[in-house]
Amino acid sequence: ISRMKARDWLGVLPFIGMLGGIPFVNRVEPYLLGMPFVLFWIVLWVVLTSVIMAFLNKIDPATKEDSQ
């Protein structure tokens, strides 16, 4: 800024995981890291969001331009 770059679509992944995935994981068993599975799934995607955004920061040329 309205054209989406290919790398910008990475930002859609957390939405797919955290929102679209919930109907398929809405259960208690198995407990993972001591948490009900549905809660573990959300926590997993919070961490993955951070990883995805770190990767995006690394490959996006705008981050270098704006630092200067």
Partner 1 sequence: MNIALIIIFAFLVLSFYSGIRAQKGKDMNMEQWTVGGRGFGSIFIFLLVAGEIYTTFTFLGGSGWAYSKGAPSYYVLSYISLAYVISYWLLPPIWKYAKEHKLVSQSDFFVSKYNSPILGILVAAVGVIAIIPYLVLQFKGLGIIVSEASYGSISPAAAIWIGVIAVTIYVMISGIHGSAWTAAIKDIMIFFVVVFLGLYLPFHYYGGIQPMFEAVQASNPSFLTFPEEGLSISWYISTVLVTVFGFYMWPHTFGSVFSAKNANVFRKNTIMLPLYTLMLLFVFFVGFTAILQVPGLKGADGDLSLLRLSLQTFDPWVVGIIGAAGLLTALVPGSMLLMTGATLLAKNVYKVMAPHTSDAQIARIAKWLVPVISLISLYFAMSGGDTLVTLLLMGYSLVTQLFPALLFSLPAKPWVNKYGAFAGILCGVSTVAYVTVFQVTIATVFPNWPAVVKDLNIGVVALLVNLVVMFTVTFVTRNLFALNRHTANTEGTPTL
Question: What are the residues binding partner 1 (CB under 8 A)?
Answer: 1-2, 8, 11, 14-15, 18-19, 22-23, 26-28, 31, 34-36, 38-39, 42-43, 45-47, 49-50, 53-54, 56-57, 60, 62-63, 66-67
Strand partners, 34: none
Closest approach of partner 1 to the CB of residue 17, in Å: 10
Do 26 and 14 touch, CB atoms closer than 8 A? Answer: no
- Please, what is the minimum distance in Å from the beta carbon of residue 6 to partner 1? 14
Residue 15 identity (one-letter amino acid): F
Q: Least separation, in Å, of the C-beta of 24 and partner 1? A: 10
Instruction: Name which of 3, 8, 2 is nearest 61 in CA terms.
Output: 8
